[in-house]
Amino acid sequence: MLVINKNNFIVAVLILMAILTLSGCAANNVKTSNNKTVEIKEWKTKNGARVLYVYAAELPMVDIQAIFDAGSVRDEDKPGIANLTNGLLSHGAKLGNKKLTVDDISERFDSIGARFSAGASKDNASISLRTLTDEKWLTKAVNTMEAVISAPTFDNKELERVRKQLLISFEERKQSPDTIASEKFYKGLYHNHPYAMPGIGTEESIKKFSRKDLVRFYKKYYVAENALVTIVGDVDMAKAELLAEKIVGKLPSGIKAKSLPAVEELEATSFVHQEFPSTQTHIMMGQPGIHRKDKDYFTLYVANHILGGSGFGSRIMHEIREKRGLAYSSYSYFVPMSKRGPFMIGMQTSNKQTDEAIKVLKETLNEFVNNGPTEKELLHAKKNITGGFPLRIDSNSDISSYLSVIGFYDLPLSYLKDFNQRIEAVTLQQIKETLKRRINTEKMFTVTVGTRVN
């Protein structure tokens, strides 16, 4: 990974993580003459996988994702197995009678300029492809993707190599105060819930996995009933149906993964500090927040926009950065997941300012929860959220991300169409009432990673 570009290119005004994280939310009532609507088609493959599709003919390319309910929440007593299984899919597969090595697979995608990636989060695991729709190239790309999904070999040599690489990743994580803070934050919020564990797992467990473990995990979770396929691009409906059958059609139907356990409330306020030789202390505070289909979702989306989800002008940014110059980046957000994802507030500041920063964050949060936003703030937030709708669906990659959220979390297909109405419907009273009910300022977990000064 080359750091140079990142260094050479400084984006000054960090318009924050909240927009990224909550980008699953979109809005739709800007009054323009040619406002495009996203028309989502839905069906199931013969073996039972759900497919969501949007036709986009402007560019001769297509984005295809296969998403499985096979995230790290499925690790159980083998932390890291979901991530490793997903990562190894493209490291050897069978195409017909031909055995493709990791080099063959790379070569097949690169030789046609296709972008291929795989990744596992807490909730799910995905395989993504972007390719040109030129028939010859599309066929090669999709054949390879099919092999990777339905006939991975989990080659032993590759397992050993990737295992070694993962062990270096653990070292890398130990030198990043940011990562340490985040890991401790999830532990502090989720204790024994599957959300507590980082996707990468633990060094001990990674060392122990055998090929058999991976195959077992793969067979259980990479099945049609547990899969979602999304297709966005320049392929017509008939072609899209063929593609979906091709990509997951060979998988057994299997059974859908079980529902996850509910997340428990924190018992009390608590605080964890980890000493680290950095010039800044990284601060994260929060508690379990909302799930994807939470009835308070839209109310809290708007509320958080005002609190710390919209960069400049939001309360936290104003108090921390604009008024006091305490940090470059400061934010709050809800991460809606299958079960209640975190509500979190975060920033990083010079070690000596840590206490002051925490005090300001707490005061800002308490004030907001106790009194809510002003009528003016609410109006401003609504204008921003609804007025920006066209920006949220202005590319195939944006639409593709929405399809995965809508599909995986089983949101209504009218989600995008309804979004602005849902935002407009949020009232000041609702926000005030919901904040008090859903954010318990008496039960916050805080983690700091840095050098203690006093």
25, 26, 67, 102: which one binds another protein (CB under 8 A): 102
129: Cα separation from own chain's centroid: 17
Query: Is residue 132 a contact point for another protein (CB under 8 A)?
Result: yes
61, 223, 302, 426: which one binds another protein (CB under 8 A): 61
391, 425, 427, 453: which one binds another protein (CB under 8 A): 391
**Helices of type H across 132-281:** 135-150, 156-174, 177-190, 203-208, 211-221, 237-248
CA gap 139, 133 in Å, rounded = 9
For another protein, give the closer residue by CB, 73 or 118.
Answer: 118
Residue 152 DSSP symbol: B
For another protein, give the closer residue by CB, 4 or 238.
Answer: 4
Within 7-36, the residues that bind another protein by CB under 8 A are 7-13, 15, 19, 30, 32-36
Q: Which residues pair with 231 in a beta bridge?
A: 53, 64
Instruction: Tell the smallest beta-carbon distance from residue 425 to another protein (Å).
Output: 18
Query: Is residue 60 a contact point for another protein (CB under 8 A)?
Result: yes
Query: Is residue 349 a contact point for another protein (CB under 8 A)?
Result: yes
- The span of 4-12, 43-51, 118-126, 411-419 binding another protein (CB under 8 A) equals 4-12
For another protein, give the closer residue by CB, 45 or 400.
Answer: 400
For another protein, give the closer residue by CB, 167 or 255.
Answer: 167
- The span of 80-88, 196-204, 249-257, 316-324 binding another protein (CB under 8 A) equals 316-324
265: Cα separation from own chain's centroid: 22
CA gap 40, 51 in Å, rounded = 10
Query: Is residue 355 a contact point for another protein (CB under 8 A)?
Result: no
Instruction: Tell the smallest beta-carbon distance from residue 389 to another protein (Å).
Output: 7
Give SS3 for 417: helix
CA gap 234, 158 in Å, rounded = 35
Side-chain half-sphere of 11: how many Cα atoms within 13 Å? 7
Widest distance between CA atoms in the chain? 67
Within 203-232, the residues that bind another protein by CB under 8 A are none
For another protein, give the closer residue by CB, 270 or 410.
Answer: 270
- The span of 70-78, 104-112, 245-253, 404-412 binding another protein (CB under 8 A) equals 104-112
DSSP notation for 83-119: HHHHHHTTSEEEETTEEEEHHHHHHHHHTTT-EEEEE
222: Cα separation from own chain's centroid: 19
For another protein, give the closer residue by CB, 397 or 427.
Answer: 397
For another protein, give the closer residue by CB, 214 or 381.
Answer: 381
Site string for another protein, 170-209 (x = CB under 8 A): -xx-xxxx------x-------------------------
Instruction: Tell the smallest beta-carbon distance from residue 410 to another protein (Å).
Output: 27
* Kind of pairing between the strands at 92-95 and 125-132: unpaired
Q: Which residues, 6 or more positions from 352, have their beta carbon under 8 angstroms from its beta carbon?
A: 453
21, 47, 106, 179: which one binds another protein (CB under 8 A): 106
Give SS3 for 311: coil
156, 265, 271, 427: which one binds another protein (CB under 8 A): 271
C-alpha torsion sign, points 423, 425, 431, 433: negative
Query: Is residue 238 a contact point for another protein (CB under 8 A)?
Result: no
96, 97, 98, 168: which one binds another protein (CB under 8 A): 168
CA gap 335, 22 in Å, rounded = 7
20, 57, 262, 453: which one binds another protein (CB under 8 A): 57
Angle (CA) 383-387-388 rounded to 5° is: 120
Structure token pair of residue 98: 């031909």
Q: How many of the other CB atoms lie within 10 Å of CB of 300? A: 24
For another protein, give the closer residue by CB, 57 or 453.
Answer: 57
For another protein, give the closer residue by CB, 254 or 450.
Answer: 450
